């Protein structure tokens, strides 16, 4: 048995070069995904009060931020849409002229090499703000599947590389895979929000998207934060249904779940550092209570360490720039 004074872990921390040599996990801009809020109309760059430095962009105003992202080494974006009209059944989610399909067409044309992902969920497109169709005051699973697969098809037809269902209806990955394959979109990937918890950390996002539920909450479809074993079941079902990548969301409060899935499954794992994670760090940084730049790199590195191959984060561009001056890559 070796022990002190022979064994001294501090030798491995003696200087930055040695620390870099033995570092177990690295973070690269190519592993970061930038979420973008795309709004209807033109000439719009709207600030979001609860998410400092994040904006809603109309399609004609997207170029600049995507240029910034790509020149800092980011290769993928995830699009969310704010439509002009909403109704009970989310009709505007199926509009090929809506903000998301229009943005996909523009980005695929102007930014070769960019991976374009789209959020597939109807909450932003419905007047009630739920992620599924409402029948008798309940969110109805099976009738929602048609709507979701139709929306995924519209995105694929516009040229999306990856569709990402975030609704948490049962069977939606299967419904989307089937519909895409029938129409010849075998190569469109599905990134499934497989393990999505009913979280308070989505608050600022609902502000940004004007998409909070008008009655009740999302607990009848999103997962109970107290549950761990249920995550295995959700992940296994989505794998059987044809998911290509699995997501855990939110990220930091659920690192144990990420690690569990990394140990158990072979699919690439994605983590979503959600709006509330972003805004709490930004607020503490603004007060001077934490060093925000260090906190960004520390949280993202921790998410990688827990097992994520890729991370969706509103800090993507800032983090990529910080990484360029660090030895963490
Ligand atoms: C649902 C959706 C939500 C988020 C992504 N997709 C909100 C919700 O489930 O209430 C949250 C993302 C974030 O908080 O950054 N379409």
Please state the domain extents for the chain: 25-324
Give the model's pLDDT for residue 211. Answer: 84
Cβ proximity of 230 and 223 under 8 Å? yes
Phi-psi region of 271 (alpha: psi -120 to 50; beta: other; left: phi over 0): beta
Question: Which atom of ligand 1 sits closest to the CA of residue 275?
Answer: 15
Count of Cβ atoms closer than 10 Å to residue 208 Cβ = 24
Buried b (16+ CB within 10 A) or exposed e, 235-268: bebbbebbbbbbbbbbbbebbebbbbbbeebebe
Predicted pLDDT at 1: 67
Ligand 1 centroid – CA 11 distance (Å): 44
Determine the distance separating the centroid of ligand 1 and the alpha carbon of 228, expressed in angstroms.
20
Helix 229-241 vs helix 255-264: crossing angle, to nearest 10: 50
- From 328, 300, 326, 329, select the one nearest 314 (Cα to Cα): 300
Amino acid 82: pLDDT: 97
Residue recorded with tokens 């959600």: 274
Q: Whose CA is nearest to atom 8 of ligand 1?
A: 202
CB neighbours (10 Å) of residue 128? Answer: 20
Q: Which of 108, 109, 249, 286 is catalytic?
A: 249
Question: What residue has token string 């739920």?
Answer: 130
Joined tokens for residue 76 = 């993928």
Q: Ligand 1 centroid vs 310 CA: distance in angstroms?
A: 18
Neighbours of 85 (CB within 10 A): 11
Distance from the alpha carbon of residue 253 to the mean position of ligand 1, in angstroms: 15
Ligand 1 atom 9, closest CA = 202
Task: List all residues 6 or more positions away from 19 whose beta carbon is below 8 Å from its beta carbon.
Answer: 12, 13
CB 33 within 8 A of CB 311: yes
Q: Which residues line ligand 1 (CB under 6 A)?
A: 119, 121, 123, 131, 166, 202, 205-206, 218, 274-275
**Which atom of ligand 1 is nearest to 202's Cα?**
14
Active site residue 86: no
- Within its chain, how far is the Cα of 119 from the centroid? 8
Residue nearest to atom 10 of ligand 1 (CA): 202
Tokens of 209: 């998207």
Ligand 1: distance of its center to the CA of 17 in Å? 40
For helices 141-158 and 99-110, the axis angle rounded to 10 degrees is: 30
Q: Which CATH architecture has domain 25-324?
A: Alpha-Beta Barrel (3.20)
**108 flagged as catalytic:** no
- Is the full-model pTM beyond 0.95? yes
**Bridge-based pairing state of the strands 138-140 and 189-196:** unpaired
Tens of each residue's pLDDT in the chain, 329 residues: 679 999 999 999 999 999 999 999 999 999 999 999 999 999 999 999 999 999 999 999 999 999 999 999 999 999 999 999 999 999 999 999 999 999 999 999 999 999 999 999 999 999 999 999 999 999 999 999 999 999 999 999 999 999 999 999 999 999 999 999 999 999 999 999 999 999 999 999 998 988 888 888 999 999 999 999 999 999 999 999 999 999 999 999 999 999 999 999 999 999 999 999 999 999 999 999 999 999 999 999 999 999 999 999 999 999 999 999 999 99
């Amino acid at each position: 048995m070796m022990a002190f004074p022979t064994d001294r872990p501090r030798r491995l921390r003696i200087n930055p070069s040695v620390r870099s040599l033995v570092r177990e996990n690295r973070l690269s801009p190519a592993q970061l995904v930038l979420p973008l809020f795309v709004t209807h109309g033109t000439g719009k760059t709207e600030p979001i009060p609860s998410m400092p430095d994040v904006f809603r962009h109309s399609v004609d105003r997207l170029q600049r931020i995507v240029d910034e992202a790509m020149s800092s080494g980011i290769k993928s974006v995830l699009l969310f849409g704010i439509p002009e009209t909403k109704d009970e059944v989310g009709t505007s989610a199926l509009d090929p002229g809506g903000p998301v399909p229009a943005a996909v067409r523009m980005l695929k044309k102007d930014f070769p090499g960019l991976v374009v992902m789209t959020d597939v969920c109807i909450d932003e497109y419905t007047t009630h703000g739920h992620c599924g169709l409402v029948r008798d005051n309940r969110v109805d699973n099976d009738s929602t599947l048609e709507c979701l697969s139709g929306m995924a098809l519209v995105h694929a037809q516009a040229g999306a590389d990856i569709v990402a269902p975030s609704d948490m209806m049962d069977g939606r990955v299967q419904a989307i895979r089937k519909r895409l394959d029938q129409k010849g979109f075998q190569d469109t990937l599905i990134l499934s929000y497989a393990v999505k918890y009913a979280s308070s950390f989505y608050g600022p996002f609902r502000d940004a998207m004007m998409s909070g539920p008008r009655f009740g909450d999302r607990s009848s479809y999103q997962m109970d934060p107290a549950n761990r074993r249920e995550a295995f079941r959700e992940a296994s079902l989505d794998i059987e249904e044809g998911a290509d990548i699995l997501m855990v969301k939110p990220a930091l409060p659920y690192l144990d779940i990420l690690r569990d899935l990394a140990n158990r499954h072979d699919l690439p794992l994605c983590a979503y550092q959600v709006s509330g994670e972003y805004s709490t760090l930004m607020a503490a940084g603004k007060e001077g209570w934490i060093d925000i730049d260090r906190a960004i790199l520390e949280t993202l590195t921790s998410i990688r360490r827990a097992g994520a191959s890729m991370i969706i984060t509103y800090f993507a561009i800032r983090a990529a720039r910080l990484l360029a001056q660090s030895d963490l890559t």
